[in-house]
Amino acid sequence: MPNNNNNLHAARNLRDDEFYTTYESIVEELSHYKHHFNGKVVLCNCDDPFESNFSKYFLKNFNVLGLARLICTSYKGSQVIATQLNLFDEQNDVVVNRHGYVMDISYIADGDNEFADDFIENWIRRKSPIKRLKGNGDFRSKECLSYLKQADIIVTNPPFSLFKELVAILVKNKKKYLLVGNQNALTYKEIFPLIQNNEAWTGYRFGDMKFRVPPDSAPRKTRFWIDETGQKWRSLGNAMWLTNLDIERRHQLLELTKRYSPEEYPTYDNYDAINVRRVDDIPMDYTGIMGVPITIINKYNPEQFELVGEANHGSDNEYDLFKPLINGKLLFKRILIRNKMPVIERINDFRILDLFCGAGGFSYGMEKNPHFKTLISLDNDSFAAETFKRNFPDCDVMVGDITNADIQEQIITKSKALGINMIIGGPPCQGYSNKGKKLGLNDPRNFLFREYLSLVAIIKPEVFVIENVKTLLSTSNGWFKNEIVNAIKELGYLVEYGVLNASHFGVPQARERAIFICSKRRSIQLPQRTSITLTTVRDAISDLAYHESGEGAFEEDYLIPISSPYQALMRANSNKLYNHIASKHKQVAIDKLKMIPPERGKEFLPPELIGKQQFKTTWGRLKWDEVSPTIDTRFDAASNGTNNHPFLNRAITPREAARIQSFDDCFIFFGSKIRIRKQIGNAVPPLMAEAIANSIFNTLS
């Protein structure tokens, strides 16, 4: 690669950026990484296959580190090759700077101690492990890349002008590395994303380092000297090690001692973030975005801080968000962070606004934690709102369209008056659902999350939760998920999201929902599974197994005793049974169900009775000792899916569906049969909502 070689020399001559790391600096840094090298192949792209201090370190410590192999390459034109030790290559030719070389070693001698300098020198002279390369030794050459692919860890000090190019090669080839560089590289668009995504971090030495420099290096007024041997030296105040080898330092928390005050921490003219002059001045209690010195990266722990982006003079890449101005004065580049573990005042009372509230499953589950109370709710379904009002008599239940400006103004006014500090809700999900048409970008309902977030932006709750069908995360190749996450972060909130399975929280149903938990103060993890054993259909509704098709009443007495802990939970504080009314099926449907044995499906129907139905689950019976599949809004139709009673010749009743959703019997549904089944089928399972509330409370309180 002659062009690369010309570029290499041009960079060195133009930038004067060739720095030779001292042996002492290498020993100091690598003392923290020794366990990483056992059994590994190490590559050093060096100035000399022996005299480089990197080569010397690994040669002397070959057995101490337990190396499997050491590969050291040098480039044509090195100014330091063979200046301390005259060597010969494997053809017995003198090593000179007219060629590139490689030293490839898999064994030196037995023992587990460090080898002495004279032993290594004599061994190299005797064994001649140095071979002339066909090319010039440029690390980008095909020949050197072949060695790189054989290596596990690359340790070197590249010319600073080529630092990002070397890192790009290492990332592409998925290699571990430990490199010496300049701190300015941390803000490069090629490097910063690695830091931000926790794929690279700084080592231990960060700041002052001294380096030998070539004989032709130009003198400088500061940080330059020549020692008694004539060797030229320079020191840099912004040197660093960059690595992707795990080290203890990156897991240490930065101790914060100061508290936020507007006087000490001014806000930027052009961005909603405060300026922090020194890393030691980071306030422990500030929850928003902060601009801090670049040196934060050397103390960055991803568990403690989120790297939001950069603020630089150039604003030349997607991570560089703005020019840091305060009162019109331009500041030096800053790193934007958010504290994920702020010291905060406890929140003991969560006052909820429930948007798209439906019948109230989300709020009902939240209120099972006594520190949560829903004060305002909104839905455009007046029938669902009536059920909500009957079950939450103290809540201000609003009926209307969230896109209506008057409705929005009422919500904002009431929320501020009542001190709303939490918002929950699930924007309509039919456009994402597996059972819907999955219209994605073509379904206007899928954009109602914007209205939800616009209210968040104005009300500014401490925490908010979005729930939806799990396919929201994948619809339109993840476009909606990415839009929601980016919008949440732009509002200044930390977000954790994922899929929860209701059966993991004691719900007798395999319902999966996408959940986003968003907080100003600190990251709130999704709740961990609370139920080791599954709650089954038998656990849920065996005490209700007596009505046939068309039987039951809005209100009646219990007829069968409690036979499971779940039934005891559902019947606690309830003296009457409500909504246990079986659909009145046509005789043809009843006759079909009579042909289907307990807990089986339509495979027992004659072909002529199955018709053109394509779905395997239609006409299915629930299985007593399994969880139910997802309850939908047509659970009372015998042909709909696996919604028929395990052995009775009917579909499940609204009360049975409510039990399977984990609504206890105190929660009463109002409206026509069609309205009630919609209310139940669209609901968030209360026991899953309770687990989310507990996770929020345990984190913030």
Give me the active site residues, please. Answer: 429
Amino acid at 450: R
Neighbours of 115 (CB within 10 A): 17
CA–CA distance, 665 with 656 (Å, rounded to integer): 10
CA angle 33, 38, 40 (to 5 degrees): 100
Here the tokens at position 256 are 């914060």
Cβ atoms of 675 and 575 within 8 Å: the answer is no
Distance CA 683, CA 679 (A): 6
Q: Which residues pair with 291 in a beta bridge?
A: 275, 336
Would you call 659 exposed, middle or buried from its count of C-beta atoms within 10 A (0-12, 13-18, 19+)? Answer: buried
Structure tokens at 166: 């070397």
Alpha carbon 70 to chain centroid, angstroms: 37
DSSP state of 87: -
The continuous run of DSSP H or E covering 567 comes out as helix 565-571
Rounded Cα distance, 204 and 230, in Å: 30
Pairing of strands 396-399, 372-379: parallel
Q: Hunting for tokens 């959703």 — which residue is that?
A: 661
Report d(CA 67, CA 54) in Å as an integer.
14
DSSP label of 369: S
Residues 6+ apart with CB under 8 A from 262: none
Specify which residues 206 forms β-bridges with: 240
Nearest-angstrom CA–CA distance, 584 and 60:
87
Alpha-carbon span 55 to 70, nearest angstrom: 8
Q: Count other Cβ atoms within 10 Å, centred on residue 148.
A: 20
Residue type, 400: G
Q: Rounded distance, CA 560 to CA 378, Å?
A: 38
